[in-house]
Amino acid sequence: MNRQPHSVIPAAFSAVLIAALLLAAVSATAAPTAPGSNGPQARDQKPHRGGHGSRGKRCHSRPASLRKDCQGRRGHAAAGKPKRDKPPAVGVEPGPPAIDLPPPVGADPSSPNDPGPTDPAAEPEPPADPAVELEPEAPIDPEPAPELPPESPEAAPEEEPEPPAPIQSATAGSSPLRWAPPVLVEPKTIKLGTGYTHTVLATNRDYILKLPATKKVGGTWIDGGRNVVVIGGHVTIPAVTTRSGSERTAISIKGATGTVHVEGVQIDGSGGGQFDGITINAPQAVVQLQNLRVVGVRGGLNSLHADVVQPWGGVRALRIDRLTASTNYQGLTLQPDLGPIGSVELDHVDLTSVLDATTEKGGHVMWMAKGTKSCIAASTSLSNVFVKPRPGRSLGTSVWPSATSGLPCAATGTSVVGWPGLPVRGGVNLGPPPGGEFVPAGSVGIGYGSPGYLTS
C-alpha cells in the first residue's frame, strides 16, 4: 500500500506551524515602545486598573525558563510602587506640614499681621474712637447713659513743647500743693478750642493741654495719653439736648496710662446746662485734681445724675488737694463701679449741697460704698474734708452709707462722721470750713499760676 501522501501532509502542516510561530516571535520582538519609556516596565509608573491579572496570564504563556523572572516582576507590581512626589523647588527645603497656631497674646486675631510694639517716638496719634461708650451717671441709676463720640474730633495743632505754668502766684495763696505734675518726656502741647473738644492722645506719649484764654463753653474729653498736664482755664457747659455724657461733662478723663494732672481750673454752671464736673474712666492712671473750683453742678433723679467727681470707670489712684464744690444733686461719688479704684486721698475739700428750684432728690455729697446695699469701698484717706448739707438735712444723712441706712458700715457721728465698717481713714466734718472756702472765687481759672508743690 502506498502511504506516501500521509507522510507529506504532516510534514507540510509542521512547516506551516513553525513559520507561524517564527513570524509571531519576530513581531513581538519588533513591537515599538512609547517615546520616553523603558519598554513594558514603563506601565508601572502610571495608575494600574486591573492590569495585574492580565499580566499574570501572560506569564503562564511564556516558556518555563522565563516564568521565574516574570513572576518576580509580577510580585513587585502587585505590591505597588510608591507614588512619586513632585521634587521640591530649587533652593527651597521641604518643611513640616502647616498647622494652625493660636494668635500670640495681645495680637488681633482678625489682623493678618500683628506688628507688635511700635516705637513710641514714631507712633502716630490714633483716630477718634467710633464706639459707643456707656457712662453711668450715678450709683443709684443702674443703667448708664450712652456716650456718643463727636462727629469730628478736634484737629489740634502741634506746637513746640512748653513747660507747665509758673509755680508761683499770689492769687492761689502761698501754701504749696501736695503733688507736683508728672515729669514729662518730650511733651506735645495742644491748644484746645473754645467749644466742645474730644482730643485723642497716644497712650505712649506725654502732653500739655492748654485751655483757651477765654471761657470754654463745652465739654473737654481727654481720650488717652500717658502723662497729661492741664493747668488753668475756665470751663462751662451750655444747655444741650444730647444724652452724650462727654458733652455734658466739663472734663472727661479716659484711657490714660500714666499720671493726669489737672490744676487751677474753674468749672461752673454759667453756661446754663446740667453737667458733671469731672468723670474718670482710666483704671491704669493716677489722677491728680488740685486747686479746683467746681460750682453750680446741676442734675436730677430723672435727668442727669450730676456729680462733682466720679471715677465710674476706675482709677489706679485718685488724689485731690484743695477742691471747693457745690451741687444740687451729688458730690464726690467714690464708690467702685464699672472699674476698680486703687486708692483715694482727699485733703482740703469743702462741698456744699444746695437746694434750688431745679433740685430733684439727691443730696448725698459723699458716696463711699458700692450701690445702696453693700459695704464694698475703695481704700480712702480723708483729711480736712467738710460737707455743708442742704437745708433740713443732717451731716449723717448727707453721706452714704448714711447714718440711717441700716447697713453694718453706716456712718457714725454727728458733727464729724466716719465709717468704721469701711476701709476709710479719717472723717467728714460739718461745713463750711472755719477759714472759708479752700478755693475761693477768683483764685483759679484764666490766668492761674500755681503756688508750687510739696513733692517734686
Instruction: Look at residue 205 and tell me if it is in a domain.
Output: yes
Which comes out higher in pLDDT, residue 34 or 423? 423
10-19 mean pLDDT: 58
Instruction: Look at residue 273 and tell me if it is in a domain.
Output: yes
Which comes out higher in pLDDT, residue 268 or 142? 268
Most confident of the ranges 86-100, 117-131, 167-181, 209-223: 209-223
List, for residues 38-70, the tens digit of each pLDDT value: 433 433 333 433 444 444 444 444 445 444 444
pLDDT of residue 146 exceeding 70: no
Instruction: Look at residue 219 and tell me if it is in a domain.
Output: yes
| pLDDT reported for residue 17 | 63
Mean pLDDT score across all residues of the chain: 74
Percentage of the chain exceeding pLDDT 70: 60
Instruction: Look at residue 257 and tell me if it is in a domain.
Output: yes
How many domains, the chain? 1
What's the domain range around 270?
Answer: 133-430
pLDDT of residue 152 exceeding 70: no
Instruction: Look at residue 237 and tell me if it is in a domain.
Output: yes
294-323 mean pLDDT: 94
| pLDDT reported for residue 20 | 62
| pLDDT reported for residue 246 | 86
Instruction: Look at residue 104 and tell me if it is in a domain.
Output: no
| pLDDT reported for residue 356 | 78
Residue 249 CA to residue 312 CA, distance in Å, equals: 13
Q: Contact, 284 vs 256, CB < 8 A?
A: yes
| pLDDT reported for residue 26 | 47
| pLDDT reported for residue 360 | 67
Instruction: Look at residue 73 and tell me if it is in a domain.
Output: no
80-103 mean pLDDT: 40
pLDDT of residue 270 exceeding 90: yes
415-444 mean pLDDT: 96
| pLDDT reported for residue 18 | 65
Instruction: Look at residue 213 and tell me if it is in a domain.
Output: yes
Q: Give residue 399's pLDDT band: very low, low, confident or very high (50, 70, 90).
A: very high
Q: Contact, 208 vs 189, CB < 8 A?
A: yes
